[in-house]
Amino acid sequence: MAKVVALVVAAGRGRRFGGDLPKQYHDLAGRPVLRHTLAQLAVNPQIDAVRAVIHPDDLDLYREAAAGLGLLEPVFGGATRQDSVRLGLESLSGLGCERVLIHDGARPFIDAGTIGRVLAALDSHPGAIPAVAVADTLKRGSGGLVGATVERANLWRAQTPQGFRFADILTAHAAVKGEELTDDAAVAERAGLAVALVQGTEDNYKITTAADLERARRTLGGPGETRMATGYDVHRFAPGTGVWLGGVLIPHDFGLEGHSDADAALHAATDAILGAISAADIGRHFPPTDPRWKGASSDRFLAHAASLVAGLGGRILHLDITVICERPKIGPHRAAMQARVAEILGLRQDRVSIKATTTEGLGFTGRREGIAAQAAATVWLPGY
C-alpha cells in the first residue's frame, strides 16, 4: 500500500517562461528540471510512491526525466492545472493512499524538512501547506500609481507540496469541477477544510521565468559535497549448499536465511548508499513483508540505491565492504565479488573494496551461526 503519495503536477506549457520546450524539461545542471524534483521526492523515506501528471505530448521527455527512479506510471493531465490535479487524484484511488502531497514539477529544491512539517501537520488537520511570511511592504497599484499600502501582517506566500488527507481533497476537487481556483489549498478552503500553515523555505521557489532558471543554475554551480555513511546486516545459516555474498554464489555447507537471497554484503552496501543520501534503509524500499521480494536477487536492491544517487545528480565515489564470518573463506572469491559489485554500480573495480575478517571464535559469527557484513559508502552530491 502506498499510504503517502507525492503527486507531481507537470502538465503545464509554461507560457510565461517562453519557448517551445516546457520549462520543466529545460536543462538544469545536466538534467531536466523535472528530474531534480522527482528525484528529491523519490529518495524521501516518508513518501511511499511518486506519480507525475504530464501532458500527452511530453511522454518521451518524461520517460527520459524519470528513468531509473522507480516511480508510478504517469497519468495525463487536463486543460488546466486544477483539472490535472483532479485527474491525478482520481488515478490514486485503489492504491491505499491516505495522504497526498501535491507538488509543482518546477520546484526542484524541495527539502525533507518541509515535507516532514507538512506531513506532521496532517496528524491534526485535513490539509497543510508550506508558506513563507511576507517581508516586503505591499502596494496595491492603480493606473501605474500606488493606490494603497497593503497591511502585510498575517500574509504568507504559499508554496508546495501542499498536503491533504486523500479522501478529503479528492472529494473537494470533485465538488469544484469546472471552477478555477488558485491552488489546492483554495479548493480545500472552498470545501470547508481547515488548512494549516507550516514554515516553508526561500529556497523552495518555483521556476517560472528564464531568470528563475538562471538562479537555479547558480544554486547548483557550487562544488557540491561529499558524504559518507555505513550499513550493517546479519543473516543466520540455514540448510543449503551455498551462500550469496557480494552478488556471488559461494559453495558452503549451509545457506543463509532471509526473505530475499540473504546477501548480507549487498544488503549492508545498499544501506550504506541509502544512508549517504538520507533515504532511510533497505527495509523501507523493499519491505520483507512484500511477497514481491521473496527470494529476490539482492543486486536489484543495490542497483536501486545507485539509481537514486544518480537521480540526484550524484556519484558513488567508493564502497568498502567487510564480511565477518569464520566460514566460508572469502579470500578465494574476493576478486569475483569486487568485479560483481563494481558491475552493479557501474564503477571501476578500484572503487570497490572487499575485505573479510573473523571474530576469533567470539559471538554468533564465531560460533558459525551466521554471517555479518558492514559497509561504508562515499558519495558526492551536487550542492543545493
Predicted pLDDT of residue 166: 98
Residue 277 CA: distances (Å) to CA of 41, 134, 204, 309, 311: 12, 32, 19, 7, 11
Given pLDDT bands bounded at 50, 70 and 90, which one contains residue 240? Answer: very high
Q: Is the pLDDT of residue 14 over 70?
A: no
Q: What is the mean pLDDT of the segment spanning 299-304?
A: 97
Q: What is the pLDDT of residues 328-344, one digit of tens each?
A: 999 999 999 999 999 99
* Percent of the chain predicted with pLDDT > 90: 91
Choice between 20 and 370, residue whose per-residue pLDDT is larger: 370
Spatial separation of the C-alpha atoms in residues 8 and 91, rounded to whole Å:
13
Predicted pLDDT of residue 16: 64
Residue 35 one-letter amino acid: R
Q: Is the pLDDT of residue 362 over 90?
A: yes
Q: Coil, strand, or helix at residue 281? A: coil
- Cell numbers 564503477: residue: 347
Predicted pLDDT of residue 111: 95
Predicted pLDDT of residue 2: 76
Predicted pLDDT of residue 20: 82
Strands (E) across 257-351 are located at 315-324
3-state secondary structure 18-60: CCCCCHHHCEECCEEHHHHHHHHHHCCCCCCEEEEEECHHHHH
Spatial separation of the C-alpha atoms in residues 267 and 140, rounded to whole Å:
59
Domains of the chain listed by start with CATH number: 4-219 (3.90.550.10), 225-381 (3.30.1330.50)
Q: Is the pLDDT of residue 18 over 90?
A: no
Predicted pLDDT of residue 317: 98
Entry pTM: 0.88
* Percent of the chain predicted with pLDDT > 70: 98
Choice between 286 and 15, residue whose per-residue pLDDT is larger: 286
Given pLDDT bands bounded at 50, 70 and 90, which one contains residue 1? Answer: low
Q: Is the pLDDT of residue 219 over 90?
A: no
Spatial separation of the C-alpha atoms in residues 148 and 170, rounded to whole Å:
39
Q: What is the mean pLDDT of the segment spanning 111-124?
A: 97
Q: What is the pLDDT of residues 158-198, one digit of tens each?
A: 999 999 999 999 999 999 988 889 999 999 999 999 999 99
Q: Is the pLDDT of residue 353 over 90?
A: yes
Q: Is the pLDDT of residue 355 over 80?
A: yes
Q: Is the pLDDT of residue 384 over 90?
A: no
Spatial separation of the C-alpha atoms in residues 340 and 189, rounded to whole Å:
55
Question: Are β-strands 75-76 and 49-54 bridged in parallel, bridged antiparallel, or unpaired?
Answer: parallel
Q: What is the pLDDT of residues 147-160, one digit of tens each?
A: 999 999 999 999 99
Average pLDDT, the chain: 95
